[in-house]
Amino acid sequence: MNLLFKHWQQRWRMPELRLLLLALIVSVTVVTAVGFFTSRVENAMQAQARQLLGGDLVLTSARPLDAAYVQRAKTVGLETAETVSFPSMASAGDKLQLAQLKAVSSGYPLRGDLKTAPAPDAPEVASNGQLPAKGEIWAEARLFAELAVQPGASVTLGRSTFTLTRVLTQEPDRSSNLFQLAPVVLMNLDDLKATELLSPASRARFNQLFAGKAAVIKTFQQALEPQLKPTERIRTLEDDLSSVQQTLQRSGRFLGLAALLSVVLAGAAVVLTSASLMRRELPAVAVLKAMGMSRRQVLFDHAFSLLLTALLAAVIGVLLGLVLQFALAEWLSRFVGKDLPAPSLMPIVTGVLTAVVLLLGFALPQLLRLVNTSPMQILQGALQRPQQSLWWVVGCLLLAVFGLLWLQSRDLPLAGMLLLGLLAGTGLFWLLASGALRLVQAFGKRIGAGWIPALGRSRRAVLLVVVFATGLFALLLLTTVRTDLLDRWAETLPADAPDHFLINIQPAEAEPLTRFFDAHAVKLNLYPMIRGRLVEVNDKPVKPDDYENQRAQNLLEREFNLSSFAEFPASNALLEGKWFAKGEKGLSIEQGIGEMLRFGIGDKLTFDIAGQRFSDTVTSVREVRWDSMQPNFFVIAAPGSVTDMPQTLITSIHLGDKKPLITEMIHQFPSVTAIDVGVILTQVRSLVTQAGLAVQGIFVFTLIAGVVVLIAALQSQKAERRREIAILKSLGAGRALLRQRIWGEFLLLGALAGVLAGLLALTAGNLLAYYLFDLDINLNLWPLLVSSVIGSVLVGIAGYWNLRGLLTVLPLSLLKS
């Protein structure tokens, strides 16, 4: 063992082993950092989702819930809490305001925390389980403004009068209803009865919250489901993700992608370095075998060295990964919360496995070649590499790459597709590189530069171009993904994106309200908003039970927002059919709802709108960008077809620094409700920036991996170069000429690699944009130019730096060594 360790130490003197370690460290670091980080974010997202519900499981109904549910939950050890919410008017003095009353029992919220402030502008603090005392209420700052009151004021709700004591700044379950009509007023459930506000006719929502161990919750849910009444529904974590969470998931995908590219690049470096390591070890093994070393000893000696290197890389990589994920978490801390849950230990396993798989698949086949070295070769002058079946080497490589892809994606079909993509990519790179070099060769002949045609024939040049191009491609793809895609995505949220939604606008107020905003140079696009329930498809009644999908069931239980207008919404895309021509009837539906509820063009839909039936046929299907901050509708009827239905109007406006207009507007149009989405928008936009930074952190590692590959490729060809330079020097080539030739060769190869990488990154970036991120194709030719310049400069410098040492030595000593 000591001896094996000693031999490892002696091999450590070779740059190849150090490069191998570096390549492995890069892969392990990037894999564990991303693994740790995404595991923490996933855990946080789960926790956040629970907070959004206010519990682990929420039973919701339009009718009071049976006390038996609570009894049963208590017997299995679950915590419970109850909330009742409904809209009601709040008054103070002569002022009136519609408020969303929320009466909560002790224990609320079971997950997450309430935050309050003593006054509208004071900093918020966590309530730590405290709730409004009897006779007191807490309310959102908006209510203070609307009623023009300060903390301590008396506010009347129904038959009771309360003291308004604190400003409610956050309830965990608020974001589940972004379009809250009115400011929330939180009161103690014990006070509810005395207000006499709750009657069987009230549009109240009764929620029963449950929290406990995941397994108990699951069993409880399973027992509960068959007994639910038609009006009762279970809300779980699977409910829609918020836009923030969607953005976080996108960041996760970016990070995974970046990690994968780094690992693949590092893999290329491992192949190249282990091949040169093998070449260097070949004479040593032949000599040692002549001295009497057995094949087993050769195998043990080298396997130990490789495994020790992998282990060292794993330890260093895991530690660096841990540090790096803290940095990542710090970058995104505003969005994922300072108290991110601890990561699982799985990324350590993944990191170690990555190192081992890289070595087994990429380096082991080379090692086995060493074992078969014939000692006889040492007497025969030139050492031949031991022959080995190409299929075996390629098989090992493919298996290892597949293993790595699977380790990263945890998705077998996806790993298969990625592998095929990678193979196709490498093949394409090889073909394009050979083709490009052939062109260069022809060009070289024409201009009479003697060394250029030689370049076109050499496989070494093709290898360099492919390696550099792959490295550059990865770097470039990430850069375009990071800047271009994120910009394009952010562009869809322009700086003048709407920051307020105005809802509850009565049809009679449409004209004066438009005039009001016109006077302040704010353009208003009013859309009718009609609440209707889908009751029939093609004259057949539809029921929630007809669908297994929970979202489909929810959609049928709730009322849809329908609208009707003539102009095609700018943030939508027409997928099928035709938008309404003048005088035409019909319905335009959102793609997702059609797929979920299984209807499409030509199907007749019937809605129940406040007791009236309304039917029409689907004539077009739209794709809707829900994050566009524009009013979006599942179903749009042809203009004029629903004018006689009860409706309100909705609009979204960009106010920017004209925000005080809202208060003025409320005074003139008291029933209109304004929702400030500016805050949400700022949050989403800055999250995109932060996510970009996080990807950049990982991008640094891809850059390092790319440089390692570059050096590995140069190192693997150094012996050949050394001979070549020695021969040229002995033939009389001066240092100036050699220098010129080296620069020329590497600048040319780098530029070629750059153009190839640019072309492929452009293609891949657009494919990603289109399929993964739902963005449009964009042929930005900048990457081509930038990458050819970066390629030639980077490769030129790296090539010259690697070979410069050879220029100063004497030709004789070059030949000797």
Residues that bind another protein (CB under 8 A): 3, 6, 10-11, 13-14, 280, 283-284, 286-297, 374-376, 378-380, 816-817
Report, in Å, the least distance between residue 22 CB and another protein: 17
Residue whose CB is less far from another protein, 728 or 809: 809
- How far are the Cα atoms of 42, 569, 579, 641 from residue 600, in angstroms, in the given order? 35, 19, 14, 20
Strands (E) across 723-769 are located at: none
Closest CA to 658 of 481, 490, 496: 496
Residue whose CB is less far from another protein, 15 or 592: 15
Instruction: Examine residue 109 and say whether the peptide bond preceding it is cis (omega within 30 degrees of 0).
Output: yes
Tell me which residue has tokens 């009860």.
Answer: 646
Report, in Å, the least distance between residue 290 CB and another protein: 5
- Number of neighbours of residue 287 by Cβ within 10 angstroms: 13
Report, in Å, the least distance between residue 10 CB and another protein: 6
In angstroms, rounded to a whole number, what is the distance separating the alpha carbons of residues 568 and 632?
A: 11
The answer to whether 136 and 81 are in contact (CB under 8 A) is no
Report, in Å, the least distance between residue 363 CB and another protein: 18
In angstroms, rounded to a whole number, what is the distance separating the alpha carbons of residues 619 and 605?
A: 11
Those residues with Cβ within 8 angstroms of residue 479's Cβ, 6 or more apart along the chain or in another chain: 699, 783
Report, in Å, the least distance between residue 375 CB and another protein: 4
- Number of neighbours of residue 393 by Cβ within 10 angstroms: 18
Q: What is the DSSP letter of 155?
A: E
Residue whose CB is less far from another protein, 259 or 288: 288
H or E element at residue 372: none
Residue whose CB is less far from another protein, 374 or 683: 374
Report, in Å, the least distance between residue 413 CB and another protein: 45
The answer to whether 751 and 437 are in contact (CB under 8 A) is no
Report, in Å, the least distance between residue 477 CB and another protein: 38
Those residues with Cβ within 8 angstroms of residue 790's Cβ, 6 or more apart along the chain or in another chain: 472, 754
Report, in Å, the least distance between residue 293 CB and another protein: 5
Residue whose CB is less far from another protein, 625 or 718: 718
Q: What is the DSSP letter of 360?
A: I
Report, in Å, the least distance between residue 265 CB and another protein: 27
In angstroms, rounded to a whole number, what is the distance separating the alpha carbons of residues 164 and 150?
A: 8
Residue whose CB is less far from another protein, 156 or 297: 297
Residue whose CB is less far from another protein, 287 or 439: 287
Residue whose CB is less far from another protein, 295 or 735: 295
Residue whose CB is less far from another protein, 9 or 231: 9
- How far are the Cα atoms of 547, 590, 600, 623, 731 from residue 595, in angstroms, in the given order? 12, 9, 8, 12, 75
Residue whose CB is less far from another protein, 293 or 601: 293
Residue whose CB is less far from another protein, 477 or 814: 814
Report, in Å, the least distance between residue 815 CB and another protein: 11
- Number of neighbours of residue 644 by Cβ within 10 angstroms: 10
Calculate the CA 478 to chain-centre distance: 13
Q: What is the DSSP letter of 226?
A: G
Report, in Å, the least distance between residue 814 CB and another protein: 12
End-to-end alpha-carbon separation of the chain, Å? 32
Report, in Å, the least distance between residue 771 CB and another protein: 49
Q: CB burial class (10 A; 0-12, 13-18, 19+) of residue 241? A: middle
Task: Please name every residue paired with 58 in a beta bridge, in sequence order, or none if there are none.
Answer: 209, 235
Residue whose CB is less far from another protein, 67 or 815: 815
